[in-house]
A and B are shown apart, each in its own frame.
Chain A
Amino acid sequence: MRIELQKRANTSTLFSILSPLLALALTLVAGAIMFGLLGKSPLGALYIYFVEPLLDVWSLHELAIKAAPLILIAVGLSICFRSNNWNIGAEGQFTIGAITGSILPVLNPEWHSPLILPLMLVMGMIGGALYAGIPALLKTRFNTNEILTSLMLVYIAQLFLDWLVRGPWRDPQGYNFPQTKSFQPEAVLPEILDSGRAHLGIIFALIAAVALWFMMRFMLKGFQVSVLGQSERAGRFAGFSARRMVWFSMLLSGALAGLAGISEVSGSIGHVQPVISPGYGFTAIIVAFLGRLNPLGIIASGFVLALTYLGGEAAQLSLSISDKVSRVFQGLILFFVLSCDTLIHYRIRLIFNPSTAQEGKR
């Protein structure tokens, strides 16, 4: 007997829907094995990890807080990836967006105007977009690989933030802690409901997802994205500019990552500090792929990945295992998603062929 992958004549619609679910199921199985090896009861651990966080209103709010930046960043990345521009540096654009968005409250802590919050959000988006503009410029002018440049810029952004909050932006009354003054109330993103901390960030995320879904499905721009992503030559034949698409997709995803950054700082943290993200910009890559690069799918996958963060915290508290376990789960999900995607293009065939077997023995 042997196993053969046979190319399908057409991509399977069934499996393009089923593949993420199958991947999640396999992730759970692998997770259970891992918990078993760690000496915990597999089912109990999975329950604490994946179910308990969904049972409290309080933790549902936390889920929304964590899903918001993931969805915002991932929908932007989905446009990049669909157009064949591999922006891996959303984490950096997130960080720079948080910094540029925080300029007003940090430098003008006494400015109490309703204008401040919209301005912060816009400046955050501009900052993220400009930072994503660097790899775009390098790619269009010098044909550099945006995967490398955008990734390297992440570390520059993080170190720049670190320097800012330890140096010029440090709160003089902050007992030497490396963080800025807390933002004035006008500069804090309002909470949606009284029952928990979830703020407007999740609303931004949902609006962005629906808007980009509309663009991809109904607008010429979305058509340009998919044509240029699949064949630059065909795009040129259609009269679409690949160069402009690099700029469009990078600036768009940079702006959304920047918005996610300033929303996180303004809504969840309330000041700027050396570490403002548990790797949202990188996890969003997994979110984008788990959501099939479809903005609506990304809403769902954003919540799934947010749950891995939350479950990681829960596991740390209740099971006393490292919160690195959330990284493990994220890795498992990406691994299984990518491998299950094979089933969209191929079918698995088990071949029981006695003549083949004889031929093999010969």
Chain B
Amino acid sequence: MTFEGVEASPLLSVRGLSKLFGSFAACDAIDLDIGHGEIHALLGENGAGKSTLVKMLFGVLQPTAGTISWEGRPVVIPSPGEARRLGVGMVFQHFSLFEALTVAENIALSLDPRTPLAKIAEETATVSKAYGLPLDPSAHVADLSVGERQRIEIIRALLQNPKLIILDEPTSVLTPQEAERLFETLMRLKAEGRSVLYISHRLEEVQRICDRATVLRHGKVTGDCDPRKETPASLARMMVGTEVAEVQRADAGAFGDVLVEVAKVSVAPRTPFAVSLKDISLKVRAGEVLAIAGVAGNGQSELFDALSGEYPISDDDGIRLRGKPVGRLRINGRRLLGAGFVPEERHGHAAVSALSLSDNLLLARSRSDKKAFLAGGPLSILRRDAILSASRRICSIMDVRKSGDDPAAGSLSGGNLQKFIVGRELDRQPSVLVVNQPTWGVDAGAASRIRQALVDLAKAGSAVIVISQDLDEIFEIATTIAVISDGKLSDPYPAGELTLEQIGLLMGGIHERHSGVETAHAH
């Protein structure tokens, strides 16, 4: 171990940090230096070891080997509490907020329990103003947009006056305008001499705001560079190891019959925190990829539930699949008409983590592939061999990387599981496919593969609906784009006619209350 002078030493210095899970090295001898006042990017595919590394820095996991030095001094970080005392703050990708509580109450939960709530509310207001993160301390979290919720997490971290703030995929849930604000905040933190560890997939924004980048692949550092001197392609190469295939888009123009038609569907919210769908109409023809853009929590999952039939709607004519009214039909009835569905949440919705891949294949297709997968008539005996061979076929077509022949779904990385879940539907050659957030949290290689598969399906004459927050993805695959905001769907636009800014405006523009708050606090 080498000790450098305190002045010259970086804020955080990691040497040879490894984490073994059994014999699997999630992180393998990682070196990382973060200087004072530096915005440092941590790039890598899903499963590259980014989360494991960050969890070790934040004291959630203990390293198997290696050292962490903080301001030149070797430290052991046994718990997140200790990490906070050192001056490390963390903003997780998935927020841990109580929807029924107010902003101030949520912040109070992570602070010293003796601090009075009024004081917290006051500090919250001060900090949020100082950093350009407008936030009303007395607002209920349930009423806030995802961007505002993220601000709570950031302010929560800032109130502990950290020297290093770790942000995990912060822009994945934001509109372009909201992301812009976040970048301004990060610049302000940097100007104060605080450091930021910025985890992201998005190469463009890393190049824009980060001073240095460390790239991980398979738990090892594959690149340590100044992102401004690299091209997106060279950064992607460090992340994936090979060039990422570019998606070949379907030609707009020659579309076939209308396969999906939704006419003036309104759905009341099922739970207090759900969004109601208001007067939704859409048409998707054979060969068309309709992308529905929008910030999370604007009715996407409710729309998916209505389209999939997981929660059928009362108006049977409201939804038509291949001309047949299906509004009151349940999901398997719609599958029998040739529709396939891919929900947003992989674990516990699209798949059951503890069950094997073949069981998860059966999960979506027990009814539609009854003849192939079940025997024994009313006894419904499972034909394990048939299910297993279909599952193997899907894995090889979609290039699903897994350990063992038929592992539990939970043991796959996000990208590989998603490839399986999408492949499970494609294997049936559905005439209609509805996908919610197809590449959410998925690595670049898998995302490109999934997008290409969706485009190819449409080319082969199916109608595809993609609900997505990822605008790059939408521009990559959509032939038609509509935007959902506050449960209302905009008119569809041909993909060529919309710019990023216009979509951004549609995403936020209809959302009058939020945009009002933001302009009021703008400086």
Question: Could you tell me which A residues sit within 8 Å of B by CB distance?
Answer: 4, 8-11, 218-221, 223, 226-227, 230-231, 233-234, 236-239, 355-356, 359
Contact = CB atoms under 8 A, between A and B. Distances in A.
B382 A218 contact: yes
B354 interface: yes
A219 B354 contact: no
Interface stretch (B2-10, B220-228, B330-338): B330-338
A8 B352 CA distance: 18
B349 A239 contact: no
Given A219-B381, A237-B308, A239-B332, 18 more contacts: A4-B62, A11-B354, A221-B380, A223-B362, A230-B348, A230-B352, A230-B354, A231-B352, A234-B350, A236-B310, A237-B331, A238-B363, A238-B366, A239-B331, A239-B335, A356-B76, A356-B78, A359-B76
Contact of B364 (A8, A231, A238): A238
Contacts of B21: 9
Given A218-B381, A219-B380, A227-B355, A239 B350 contact: no
Interface in B493-512: none
Contacts of B335: 239
Contacts of B328: none
B408 A10 contact: yes
A104 B18 CA distance: 72
A10 to B, nearest CB: 6
Contacts, number: 75
A234 B381 contact: no
Contacts of B310: 236-237
Given A223-B362, A359-B76, A237 B22 contact: no
Contacts of A218: 381-382
A219 B382 contact: yes
Contacts of B89: none
23 contacts: A9-B22, A218-B382, A219-B379, A219-B381, A219-B382, A220-B366, A220-B374, A220-B382, A221-B380, A223-B359, A223-B366, A227-B355, A230-B348, A230-B353, A231-B352, A234-B349, A237-B310, A237-B331, A237-B343, A237-B364, A355-B74, A355-B76, A359-B76
B381 A227 contact: no
B58 interface: no
Nearest to A356: B76
Contacts of A239: 330-332, 335, 366-367
Contacts of A238: 363-364, 366
Interface string B339-365: 001010100111111110001001110
Nearest to A236: B310
Contacts of B364: 237-238
- The main secondary structure of chain A at its interface with chain B is helix
Contacts of B330: 239
B350 A237 contact: yes
Given A219-B382, A223-B359, A234 B351 contact: yes
B379 A231 contact: no
A276 B95 CA distance: 54
**Which residue, of A4, A11, A239, A359, has the highest number of chain B Cβ atoms within 10 A?**
A239
Contacts of B276: none
Contacts of B76: 355-356, 359
Interface string B11-23: 0000000000110
Nearest to B347: A231
Contacts of B381: 218-220
B382 A223 contact: yes
A11 B408 CA distance: 10
B172 interface: no
B93 interface: no
Given A237-B343, A239-B335, A227 B352 contact: yes
A294 to B, nearest CB: 15
Contacts of A355: 74, 76
Contacts of A4: 62
Nearest to A220: B380
A361 to B, nearest CB: 12
Given A218-B382, A221-B380, A226-B355, A231 B349 contact: yes
A349 to B, nearest CB: 10
B366 A234 contact: no
Contacts of B349: 231, 233-234, 237
Contacts of B379: 219
Contacts of A220: 366, 374, 380-382
B83 to A, nearest CB: 14
